[in-house]
Structure formats: C-alpha cells, structure tokens
C-alpha cells in the first residue's frame, strides 16, 4: 500500500501486462471516455474475441486508509489542483451545460433528487437489522456453477441459496 507503482513494478502500463489477453488504457477521470471504453470492452467480449484487460486510471483524493492522510507523498495543492481541473463529475457537468444538453436548473433539481434518494437509502441502511449468517451466501451469483460459496476459511464452505430474482439482469 505504501509503495509507489513505479517502485513496485517494472512496467506501470498495467493494461499491457495481460500477456495473451489484450488490454486498453482509459482516462478514468473522463466519464465519456470510460463509457466508450466500456462499450468497446463489452463489444470485444461478447463478439467472441475473449476477455480484455481495461486499466482505468483515476486520481484518489484521499489517503489509502484512516491512518494515511495522503499528504506525505503529494501536496495539498496537487490534490486541490486535480479536484478543480480534472474532477469527473464537475467536468461532465460543464460539458453537458456547455453543449446545451441540460440547464443549470435541471442539474440542480437532479442533484437534489439524488441527495434525497441517498438520504433515504442511508436512513434505511441505518435502521434495518443486519442480515443473519444464514442469509450471507444468498444470491452471490446469478447462475452459480457450484453449490457452495467460500466461507471465512477455505475449508468452511457455505451453501449457496437463492433468496430472490436477480434485479440487475435483463
């Protein structure tokens, strides 16, 4: 965690390290670039060409953990500069405003609606009970190939159960 990519790897072009698996690099700070690269990767895979490694380069605003403020290896000014000039959400908002695809009022309403949705989800998460241990292995896979799921140790498998239909599959 504390070693820079340059010190820990002979090659930091990670998307090229799949050996026999092709790879692509995408600027993870550009929402439209990520969308296009993802669509390319999906088309590549479903066309029968096999898997694809997609390296999505982003910038982390915070440290790695609670004990890492993220300021010993970069300056506060650097973080602030990236946040002001390359933030994906701010950049995308500017693009769609400039292109006339949305008005400032529509964006403000959308942000408020999103805030309400998040607040409701947080409230629900805080008031709901924790799920029981018997529910932990439920719906891990939409189409499980094995009847069990690894437990907290390799020799303690749990039976995969179906709790409900997968809501994110078409």
Calpha distance 131→143 (Å, rounded)? 22
Backbone phi and psi for residue 11, each to the nearest 5 degrees, phi listed first: -135, 125
Task: Write down the pTM of the prediction.
Answer: 0.68
% of the chain beyond a pLDDT of 70: 98
pLDDT score of 69: 79
Domain positions in the chain = 13-99, 131-164
Angle between helices 88-98 and 76-86 (to 10 degrees): 30
Calpha distance 78→167 (Å, rounded)? 41
Q: For 107-159, how does the pLDDT look when each residue is reduced to its tens digit (9 = 90+)?
A: 999 999 999 999 999 999 999 998 888 888 898 888 888 899 888 888 889 99
């Amino acid at each position: 965690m504390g070693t820079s990519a340059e010190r820990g790897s002979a090659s930091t072009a990670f998307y090229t390290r799949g050996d026999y698996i092709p790879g692509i690099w995408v600027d993870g700070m550009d929402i439209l670039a990520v969308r296009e690269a993802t669509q390319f990767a999906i088309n590549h895979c479903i066309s029968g060409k096999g898997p694809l490694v997609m390296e999505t380069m982003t910038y982390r605003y915070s440290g790695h953990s609670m004990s890492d403020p993220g300021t010993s290896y970069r300056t506060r000014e650097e973080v602030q500069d990236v946040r002001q000039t390359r933030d994906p959400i701010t950049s995308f908002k500017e693009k769609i405003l400039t292109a006339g695809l949305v008005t400032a009022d529509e964006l403000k309403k959308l942000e408020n609606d999103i805030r309400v949705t998040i607040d409701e989800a947080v409230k629900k998460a805080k008031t709901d009970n924790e799920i029981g241990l018997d529910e932990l292995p439920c719906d891990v896979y939409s189409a499980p190939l094995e009847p069990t799921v690894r437990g907290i140790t390799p020799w303690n498998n749990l039976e995969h159960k179906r709790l409900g239909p997968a809501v994110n599959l078409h």
